[in-house]
């Protein structure tokens, strides 16, 4: 176990200290959204109590204050992902909007009929549908890197898909459904050898892994605040300056312009060119406190703790299989783990044979345990695996080994029920 002070970490999360259905809440749905520390909640309240004003426009004190705080978050995320320049960080509503922005601006300008876009079998819908939309519009072709049974990309097949027709490789860094960490550095190097651009969906990776966009040399990275202990409705699109400058604006409106007349409008510099309208100022400001929270603990300490939780969970599920096999001499194991990649973050999907994942989710909820059930916005992945959904437990820095034990005990009871 790591050297984290879990009690003091948990004490920063007021939501964790409640009972659900008469049991202490066990929150294992962190891949869907993480809880928010008190500092983030306080920052939101303080912003609306003392600082609220529109940014970048007025000469008055409150406007200056909120502008400074808003831009402070931009500097913090720049450092967090090690972007070369602060202007390379654009605020969006989330990963979904960040990917749509690239598909609709870069894609509209640079994709042509016959060009190819490569994604993977394990993409979240938000890194599939925007590419389907622009490919259809442009006559470009979407190609998919297959996976093995463990949920790992087949890199030889990736090599075969790459060609001079490849213009974009859009790849999830860490799978939300399986926990797989993809070899993104290798993916990027290989794509660049063919002159293709690479976008990484960083929704899950950014809370678990160290992020260095310059070292990775990715062209775009999509980040989500709400998966990273920050507020919902905020995301970041990192893009290399020369790409962002070459791209047309996403939406038209205020803030993104330099000068407007009825004859002609000139666009603002990056990042403002892509930030039309009044942004989600309060939530962007509060997001900084989430990043500070992560920085204070340190990614290495966070992932060491989360990996210990994952190991205990996987070992426990394996032990239930062994015990049940002895007890019932069933041919089939009662639990099938889904997603057993060698490189993983603290996400474990599984199915209980003979029990629908939705029923399992309801019964776990009755014990105060929050997990995700269903397709996890990855229907093509579920189809590939021959499943209509899984039960997914996903762990975060504030979860404990004791909670994993409570969860395993509850799963053991479900297995008994499914055998009746
Ligand atoms: C949550 C998630 C998304 C969507 O992110 P939003 O910020 O909620 O739009 C995309 N991809 C993955 C892998 C995710 O986990």
- Over the stretch 304-354, which tens digit does the pLDDT of each residue have? 999 999 999 999 999 999 988 777 665 678 999 999 999 999 999 999 999
Average pLDDT over residues 145-160: 98
Same domain (yes/no): 205, 305: no
Same domain (yes/no): 140, 270: yes
Question: How far does the centroid of ligand 1 lie from the alpha carbon of residue 201, in Å?
Answer: 8
What is the pTM (predicted TM-score) of this model? 0.96
Residues touching ligand 1 (Cβ under 6 Å) are 94-96, 124, 126, 172, 176, 201, 203-204, 224, 227, 235
Same domain (yes/no): 278, 382: no
Model pLDDT, residue 331: 62
In a domain, 8, yes or no: no
CATH of residue 303: 3.90.1150.10
Last residue of a domain, one of 297, 317, 349: 297
Last residue of a domain, one of 249, 272, 297: 297
Give per-residue pLDDT as tens, 73-117: 999 999 999 999 999 999 999 999 999 999 999 999 999 999 999
How many domains would you assign to the chain?
Answer: 2
In a domain, 21, yes or no: no
- Structural contact between residues 228 and 204, judged by C-beta atoms closer than 8 angstroms: no
Same domain (yes/no): 375, 279: no
Same domain (yes/no): 192, 309: no
Give the whole-number percent of the chain exceeding pLDDT 70. 98
In a domain, 118, yes or no: yes
CATH of residue 52: 3.40.640.10
Same domain (yes/no): 45, 161: yes
Domain containing 350 equals 298-418
In a domain, 34, yes or no: no
Residue 362 has pLDDT above 70, yes or no: yes
Annotated active-site residue 377? The verdict is: yes
In a domain, 31, yes or no: no
Site to substitute for ligand 1 among 93, 94, 179, 375, most atoms within 8 A of C-beta: 94
Same domain (yes/no): 307, 343: yes
Residue 1 has pLDDT above 50, yes or no: no
Same domain (yes/no): 132, 44: yes
Task: Tell me the C-alpha distance between 94 and 284, whole Å.
Answer: 11
In a domain, 11, yes or no: no
In a domain, 18, yes or no: no
Same domain (yes/no): 317, 375: yes
Same domain (yes/no): 259, 391: no
Report residue 19's pLDDT band, with 50, 70 and 90 as the boundaries.
very high
Model pLDDT, residue 389: 96
Site to substitute for ligand 1 among 91, 94, 95, 377, most atoms within 8 A of C-beta: 95
Q: Which two tokens stand for residue 217?
A: 């040399």
In a domain, 16, yes or no: no
Last residue of a domain, one of 297, 325, 342: 297
Task: Tell me the C-alpha distance between 367 and 419, whole Å.
Answer: 20
Same domain (yes/no): 271, 308: no
Same domain (yes/no): 309, 286: no
């Amino acid at each position: 176990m790591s050297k984290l002070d879990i009690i003091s970490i948990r004490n920063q999360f007021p939501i964790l200290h409640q009972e659900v259905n008469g049991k202490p809440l066990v929150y294992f749905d962190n891949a869907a959204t993480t809880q928010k520390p008190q500092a983030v909640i306080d920052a939101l309240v303080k912003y609306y109590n003392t600082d609220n004003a529109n940014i970048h426009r007025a000469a008055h004190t409150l406007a200056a204050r909120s502008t400074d705080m808003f831009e402070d978050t931009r500097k913090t995320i720049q450092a967090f992902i090690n972007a070369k320049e602060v202007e390379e960080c654009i605020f969006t509503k989330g990963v979904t909007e960040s990917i749509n922005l690239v598909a609709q601006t870069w894609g509209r300008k640079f994709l042509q009929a016959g060009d190819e876009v490569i994604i993977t079998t394990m993409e979240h819908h938000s890194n599939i549908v925007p590419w389907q939309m622009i490919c259809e519009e442009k006559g470009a072709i979407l190609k998919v890197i297959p996976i093995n049974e463990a949920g790992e990309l087949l890199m030889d097949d990736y090599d075969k898909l790459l060609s001079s027709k490849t213009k974009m490789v859009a790849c999830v860094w860490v799978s939300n459904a399986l926990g797989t960490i993809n070899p993104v550095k290798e993916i990027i190097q290989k794509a660049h050898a063919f002159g293709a651009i690479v976008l990484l969906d960083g929704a899950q990776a950014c809370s678990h892994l160290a992020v260095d966009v310059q070292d990775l040399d990715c062209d775009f990275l999509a980040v989500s605040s709400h998966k990273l202990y920050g507020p919902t409705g905020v995301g970041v699109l990192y893009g290399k300056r020369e790409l962002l400058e070459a791209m047309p604006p996403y939406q038209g409106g205020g803030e993104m312009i330099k000068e407007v007349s009825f004859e002609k409008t000139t666009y603002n510099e990056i990042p403002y060119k892509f930030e039309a309208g009044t942004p989600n100022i309060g939530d962007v400001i509060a997001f900084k406190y989430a990043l500070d929270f992560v920085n204070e603990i340190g990614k290495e300490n966070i992932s060491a703790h989360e990996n210990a939780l994952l190991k205990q969970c996987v070992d426990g599920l394996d032990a239930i299989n062994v015990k049940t096999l002895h007890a019932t001499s069933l041919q089939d194991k009662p639990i099938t783990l889904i997603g057993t990649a060698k490189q993983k973050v603290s996400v474990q999907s599984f199915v209980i044979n003979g029990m629908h994942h939705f029923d399992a989710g309801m019964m776990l909820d009755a014990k105060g345990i929050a997990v995700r059930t269903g397709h996890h916005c990855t229907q093509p992945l579920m189809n590939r695996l021959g499943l209509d959904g899984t039960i997914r437990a996903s762990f975060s820095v504030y979860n404990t080994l004791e909670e994993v034990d409570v969860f395993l005990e509850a799963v053991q009871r479900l297995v008994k029920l499914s055998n009746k």
